[in-house]
Amino acid sequence: MPIPGNLLTTAMAVMPHTDVERALETALSVDIPFWPQLPNFNYYEDMYVQAAEHFPGILLDLDARTLRFSIDRFAMEFEDTMARFDDPAFFDISETYSVVYHRFLAQDFADRPAIRGQLEGPISFGFNVLDQDERPILFDDTVRPFMFEFMARRINVQLARLRTLNENAFMFVDEPGLQFLFSAMSGYSDVQAKENLDLFFSQVDRPRGIHLCGNPDWDFLLGLDMDVLSMDIYTNAEIFSAYGKSIGRFLEKGGVIVWGIVPTGFEIFAGEDIPSLIQRLEVVWEALEKKGIDRSLLLKQSLLSPATCCLVNPDKEKTVEHAFRTVGRMSRELREKYSLL
C-alpha cells in the first residue's frame, strides 16, 4: 500500500502563516509532510489562484485579491494553451505561484513513509470562479470538459515531481465545494457530477484522493474511484459514522481515511484535550465496528490530522501549530495503545 496508515500523521495544506520557513517547519513536523498553501503570505499562494496558473481566460487581480474568468479571453488564449498541453513544466506550479512548493521540493524525504501534494479540485474551482456574467464556469458546457482535463494534468505533473523525492508520494484533490454539490448548484445534477468525476479520476494517476472539511453526500463521495479520503471527523462524526456500508466498501478495496480530529479554531481547541479527542474518535470507531467494520483493518488504513484549516484565529498561527503537536501526541498514544508501533 503506497499510502501508509497505522495512525501516522499528516495535515491539511492551507495554513495561516506569513513566515514561509515557519510554515514549512510545521508541515515537516508530521509523519507525512506536505507543502503549505499560505494565502496570508500573498495572493499567489491561495489554493484557487495556484490552480488557475496558465488556465486560459483567467483574470487575476493581485491588488483586489480577485480571480475571475472571461470567455472572450478564454477563446483568445485557448490555442496557445493547447500548443503547450504536452509540456509538463506548463502544468507545474511556478515559483511565482508558490515559494513554499519550491522550498519543499528542495528537502530530503528519503526516510519518510510518504509525502503529499495537493491541488484545488475541478468542482470547487469551477464553482468558485465566475465568468463575465457572474456565472460559475462549472456550468459552461464548453469550459467544463477542458477544466477537468486541465486539472487532471496539473495533478499528474505535481505527483510525478513529488515521486522523484519519495516513491510513496500521493495527492489530495481539495474539494470543499462538494458539500454544496446537490444543494446549491441547480443545473448541475448528481448524475452529471458522477460522470464528470469518474472521467476526471480516470485521468488522474494513483494514489489519488479527496480532502474536504464539509459534509457532502458521503455515499456519493465514498463511491468515487479514489484511494484516500481526508475529512473533518471532529465536526461530522455522527453523520459520517452512519454510512457504515459505504465506509466498509471503501476500506475493503484498500481505501485510506484521514481522520481530521483536532480542531484548529482558537476557542474550540481550548476546550479539548488529548483524552477528550481520543474518546471522540473512538466513539466513531466503535460505532463502525458495530456496523461490521473490522477495527484492525480500519486502524491499518487510517491516518490522523487536524480537523480543518483556520486562517482567522486571534493568535494567528499559534493554535494551528498547537493542533499539529496535539495530533502528533495523539498518534503516539493511540499507536502504543493499539500496538501499531
Tens of pLDDT along 125-148? 999 999 999 999 999 999 999 999
Distance CA 35, CA 135 (A): 32
Q: With contact defined as beta carbons under 8 Å apart, do 321 and 27 qualify?
A: no
- Confidence class for position 176, pLDDT limits 50, 70, 90: confident
Proportion of the chain above pLDDT 90, given as a percent: 90
| pLDDT at res. 341 | 73
Domain boundaries, the chain: 8-54+90-337
Average pLDDT over residues 101-120: 97
Q: How far is CA 77 from the centre of its chain?
A: 29
Average pLDDT over residues 322-334: 98
Average pLDDT over residues 88-99: 97
- Confidence class for position 172, pLDDT limits 50, 70, 90: very high
Q: Which H or E run includes 303? A: strand 302-306
CA distances from 267 to 17, 214, 215, 230, 327 (A): 19, 19, 22, 23, 17
Alpha helices by DSSP H, 188-317: 190-202, 218-222, 233-240, 244-252, 266-270, 274-290, 295-300
Distance CA 208, CA 184 (A): 26
The letter for the amino acid at 33 is: P
Closest-CA residue to 174 (of 339, 14, 2, 1) = 14
For 210-232, what is each residue's pLDDT tens digit?
999 888 889 999 999 999 999 99
For 183-197, what is each residue's pLDDT tens digit?
655 567 777 888 899
**CATH class of the domain at 8-54+90-337:** alpha beta
Phi then psi dihedrals of residue 322, to 5 deg: -60, -40
| pLDDT at res. 17 | 97
The letter for the amino acid at 211 is: H
State the cell numbers at 43: 495572493
The letter for the amino acid at 110 is: A
State the cell numbers at 166: 519519495
pTM above 0.75, yes or no: yes
Distance CA 326, CA 321 (A): 9
| pLDDT at res. 186 | 54
